[in-house]
Chains A and B, each alone.
Chain A
Amino acid sequence: MIRFILLQNRQGKTRLAKYYVPLEDSEKHKVEYEVHRLVVNRDPKFTNFVEFRTHKVIYRRYAGLFFSICVDITDNELAYLECIHLFVEILDHFFSNVCELDLVFNFHKVYLILDEFILAGELQETSKKAIIERMGELEKLD
């Protein structure tokens, strides 16, 4: 099960934070700070997995952005790595060539996409096409 998903830039600014377990605000900030520190200085040749407290973080860097997913210790790391990539592809498709600024100004849409992709800490949809179509329908309603 996914515990939380973080999108952070190299400076450690959080661009998206979704928690599927309840945490105090102060605890969330601490988690964000720690995860950033864990992933930011790792060599690109290293594994994309780091142990974090009693869980593990699967992260992947796209340009200046780190996508980190914290999952249970027994979960399939490689699958979540693929999952991050799929999410990035969806974002890229939706914003056509996504960049950090898109995510900053349209953060609420990013949350909306994420809610179509993952629910209750589990995968909801694996088809990029289905999610993009659904987003199109939702946009029309706004």
Chain B
Amino acid sequence: MDTVEKIVEDFASDIAMSSFSSGTRLRDMIRAIRACKTAAEERAVVRRECAAIRTAISENEPALRHRNMAKLMFIHMLGYPTHFAHMECLKLIAAAGYPEKRVGYLGLMLLLDERQEVLMLVTNSLKQDLNHPNQFIVGLALCALGNICSAEMARDLSPEVERLMRSREVNTKKKAALCSIRIVRKVPDLAENFMALAASLLKEKHHGVLISAIQLCTELCKASKDALEYLRKNCIEGLVRILRDVSNSSYAPEYDVSGIADPFLHIRVLKLMRILGQGDADCSEYMNDILAQVATKTDSNKNAGNAILYECVQTIMGIEATSGLRVLAINILGRFLSNRDNNIRYVALNMLMRAIAVDALAVQRHRTTILECVKDADASIRKRALELVFLLVNDTNVKPLTKELIDYLSIADPDFKGDLTSKICSIVEKFSQEKLWYLDQMFKVLSLAGNHVKDDVCHALIVVLSNASELQGYSVRSLYKALQAYGKQGSLVRVAVWCIGEYGEMLVNNVGMLDGEEKITVTESDAVDAVEIALNRHSADATTGAMCLVALLKLSSRFPSTSERVKQIVARNKENAVLELQQRSIEFSSIIQRHQSIRSSLLERMPVLDEASYLVKRATATQATISANKHAPTVAPGGLKLPNGVAKPTSAPLADLLDLSSDDAPASTTTSTTTPNDFLQDLLGIGGVSTSTAGVPSTASTDILMDLLSIGSSPLQNGTPGQESKPVHAVPEAIDLLGSLSSTTSVSAETKPTRLVSQGMDLLDGLSSSTSVSGLEKTVHPSITAFQSTTLKITFDLKRQPGNPRETTIHATFTNLTSSTYTDFIFQAAVPKFIQLKLDPASGNTVPANGNGSVTQGLSVTNNQQGQVYEDLHPLVPPFYLASIVYLFYWLEFNLLPYDVVYNC
């Protein structure tokens, strides 16, 4: 009751205050707010003011309108909601006088943005103001249009803006030019209307107009190829003249920045030159002299001069410059890199990253300096330098570079360790020529930063270990030693525990000693101790705990003397709060107690993990992530490189032969279903072995079929990732081959090859589409298994509409895997707001049992948010949720669909 009374009281006081408050001036309100000592007081003042303004709005009091709007803008800046003021903005804009309009437009730009529907109502006022005789009012309208116009407004008002670009008034002209930038960004089709006008503005003298026109030209080049060609022909001379004039001009106080005339104009011209000169030798040739002049004559003592030099170097690197000019540019970078100012060093590192493509050798010369930058105190510099070092690594310098980085790892900032670790891991994986070196580096990284090593890196390490039989003894001993010293590093513990479980006897018996390896004495119970300590220390982490339990179980079989102890340790975990651990403990106890006879065969060493198929699987998973991320660079072919001298994928391993799911889900692994979470599962050999057909035709099921048909090394197999493959060419060959094959083989085999080919094509399609960069038009995606359980399977065939990249059509096929028929089958799907979903009628509502026939249904998905300017500032929204109602309600994870299909290009 108390609170209700309080609210009523508050409200009454609000009303009492409001008559007083509406009279306060803006200045008084700001004072009152500043005088507040607590946040609650401030809220109370703001509430009173808002109430007063609301009353004034409802009373429709034009005299106070513009003062109220100013107050609301201040309130908005403090973070309070002001949506009730939107209509007031429009009223102010529609008023006749300049002061009202000024506040109205200001409010419009601050309180509203292009997505509000209210904005539609303002188009007409804007149109009138753009045609207003008073240049100041025209200026206001242009400014508002340039800052918040939407695509529709851009289309409606672009003729006015074009006209204003021809105005005689300088201020109007430059504003109109910048306004056109916004228009072209919103509607690139309009670019051609502006190109002639933009080029003509380059003849002006006024710097404001020039800089606006140059920026407009830059935008036009981005928006349209025709505009780029037009401007190449028509404005390169003008640009060179502008740059020459401004860089040769004598002291001009109006534009002087520390002794340089208008550095901003310099920089904008240089930027546009870069765009025009890119890939055009004639243009580049034409600007050669002036670039050389700017690069040599600009004073590099002040920030303004360095800004120009920086832009100039970028332009020289970007265009088809002569080698002399490039040397000049690289030298400037060298000077930058040795500068004591951190800002300059930062831009130098930034530039060197791009210079690598032009002159890698010159960049290599600065390696030591760059390496020093990795250790800088400033995170921005460190980050740049690390990226650069990553690009600098090659086969010859990998060892010293890795050593430097690993040495630094022990003293690196905790925030930086994550980045550094992942870079070291990828360098080591990519460039290792010998397994021993790779293992040694990985052990060091695990010891120093085990908590930052990603699961997939550990997984890769274990795959390598399991294949390196001659190094297993050495590894398990090294890991045991590391575990003693660095028992807190999560990933180290996992890898070490796994190895101790698998290769425990090598640890105790010193099997496979390498030259120069120090001998250690470890007893059987020491090994169990190590795992037990790890289990106790990391019991909170279910994965580590589970791995420890498995290791203990394996040790109990390797060392029968410890069996009783292991039994006790396992038994202790029977009451573990984590369900997974509890279940394992109970199962393992019963193995130890009741199944002595099968225990040793059950706990044999794991079969050797297939290196090739693991790498393919991992590469596919990374590709899926990369294509999900628009800003990520192109995936290098090196991503599929097989390190450690694995030249060719080994033939399909035992695990794949046992794999049941790979045949019915041929392309499922081309999606990103292989999350690092299945680490444990894979290691334990449960389920996760459906790696076989991961986007490369040379593995398991294909192989087996091929072998059955005894066509040995078929062209399809040439598509192995290690070689430079041209998958598209492989397909017709495969068809030919199989075509000729079918005439010689028996009839019963004939059905298989056809299926095989279509699969191969799908897979190859998948390969080519997932490696291509986002800029390319992709229309066909592989068919994917969107969902599969023991009862139901859903596959999607995806197709991009050729004319409309935002729209994807999905052909869904539902198969019933149970023995009873589904009746009244309905498929339902839910998508986020920005995606439009259209469901076509299904082919039926009865799904026959046992996979005998299926129901199909078409869906089309339109992504309305694709390619919008602001999407990268948005938190990523899971793009696609699907729910199907059969007997059960299944939620499907969004990552089962290739991410880029619905969200990106």
Contact = CB atoms under 8 A, between A and B. Distances in A.
Contact of A47 (B99, B343, B874): B343
Given A78-B343, A122-B181, A126-B264, A104 B30 contact: yes
A107 B74 contact: yes
Interface stretch (A16-24, A61-69, A90-98): A16-24
Contact of B377 (A3, A46, A138): A46
A108 interface: yes
Interface string A98-122: 0000001101100110010001111
Contact of A119 (B110, B178, B255, B314): B178
A108 B263 contact: no
Interface string B343-364: 1111100100000000000000
Contact of B342 (A16, A47, A123, A129): A47
A79 B269 CA distance: 13
Contact of A127 (B99, B255, B379): B255
B267 A79 contact: yes
Contacts of A78: 303-304, 306-307, 310, 343-344, 347
A133 B239 CA distance: 28
Interface residues of B, number: 74
B34 A104 contact: yes
Given A22-B115, A115-B143, A141 B98 contact: yes
Given A23-B873, A51-B380, A81 B343 contact: yes
A130 B265 CA distance: 15
A75 to B, nearest CB: 9
Contact of A112 (B102, B344, B872): B102
B179 interface: yes
Interface in B52-90: 70, 73-74, 77, 79, 81
B254 A130 contact: yes
Given A76-B307, A120-B182, A141-B136, A25 B81 contact: yes
B61 to A, nearest CB: 20
A38 to B, nearest CB: 10
B378 A82 contact: no
Most buried by A among B181, B267, B306, B377: B267
B178 to A, nearest CB: 4
Contacts of B378: 42-43, 45-47
Contact of B307 (A14, A79, A142): A79
A119 B146 contact: yes
B872 A123 contact: no
B70 A108 contact: yes
B208 A127 contact: yes
Contacts of A86: 257, 264
Given A14-B77, A47-B346, A78-B347, A53 B307 contact: no
B147 A20 contact: yes
Interface in B203-243: 207-208, 211-212, 215
Main secondary structure of the interface of A (DSSP, over half): mixed
Contacts of B114: 22
A141 B99 contact: yes
Main secondary structure of the interface of B (DSSP, over half): helix
B641 interface: no
B868 to A, nearest CB: 9
Contacts of B344: 78
A48 interface: yes
Contacts of A42: 378
A123 B143 contact: no
Contacts of A22: 113-115, 148, 870
Nearest to A129: B254
A107 B106 CA distance: 11
Nearest to A78: B307
A19 to B, nearest CB: 7
Nearest to A30: B875
Contacts, number: 170
Contacts of B81: 25
Interface string B307-332: 10011001000000000000000000
B869 interface: yes
A102 B433 CA distance: 65
B91 interface: no
Contacts of A81: 303, 307, 343
Interface string B240-269: 000000000000011101000011110110
B27 to A, nearest CB: 6
Contacts of A25: 81
B175 interface: yes
A63 B65 CA distance: 36
B381 interface: yes
B303 A82 contact: yes
Nearest to B136: A141
A65 to B, nearest CB: 15
B833 interface: no
Given A47-B342, A142-B98, A79 B311 contact: yes
Nearest to A21: B870
A124 B174 contact: yes
B673 interface: no
A3 B208 CA distance: 21
Contact of B215 (A19, A122, A128): A122
Contacts of A20: 147
Contacts of A49: 343, 346, 380
A3 B264 contact: no
A121 B34 CA distance: 31
Given A43-B377, A126-B265, A21 B102 contact: no
Most buried by B among A53, A79, A112: A79
A105 B310 contact: no
Contacts of A17: 77
A50 interface: yes
A16 B178 CA distance: 22
Contacts of A107: 73-74, 77
A126 B208 contact: yes
A23 B872 CA distance: 11
Contact of A122 (B109, B207, B212, B346): B212
A54 interface: yes
A37 interface: no
Interface in B273-331: 303-304, 306-307, 310-311, 314
B36 to A, nearest CB: 13
Nearest to B27: A105
Most buried by A among B207, B215, B306, B345: B215
A27 B32 CA distance: 28
Contact of B383 (A51, A55, A119, A126): A51
B208 A130 contact: yes
Interface string A70-82: 0000001111011
Nearest to A115: B143
A64 B38 CA distance: 21
Contact of B343 (A77, A119, A129): A77
A48 B379 CA distance: 11
Contact of B136 (A21, A45, A137): A137
Interface of B: 27, 30, 34, 70, 73-74, 77, 79, 81, 98-99, 102-103, 106, 109-110, 113-115, 136, 142-143, 146-148, 171, 174-175, 178-179, 181-182, 207-208, 211-212, 215, 253-255, 257, 262-265, 267-268, 271, 303-304, 306-307, 310-311, 314, 342-347, 350, 377-381, 383, 631, 869-870, 872-874
User: 7 closest A-B pairs (Cβ-Cβ)?
Assistant: A78-B307, A22-B113, A120-B146, A46-B378, A119-B178, A120-B182, A125-B208
Interface of A: 3, 14-17, 19-23, 25, 27, 29, 31, 42-43, 45-51, 53-55, 76-79, 81-83, 86, 104-105, 107-108, 111-112, 115, 119-130, 134, 137-138, 141-142
6 contacts: A19-B113, A22-B115, A46-B378, A79-B267, A119-B178, A130-B254
Given A47-B343, A82-B264, A119-B143, 16 more contacts: A22-B148, A29-B79, A42-B378, A46-B342, A47-B342, A47-B346, A49-B380, A76-B314, A81-B303, A81-B343, A112-B102, A120-B178, A126-B265, A127-B255, A128-B254, A138-B102
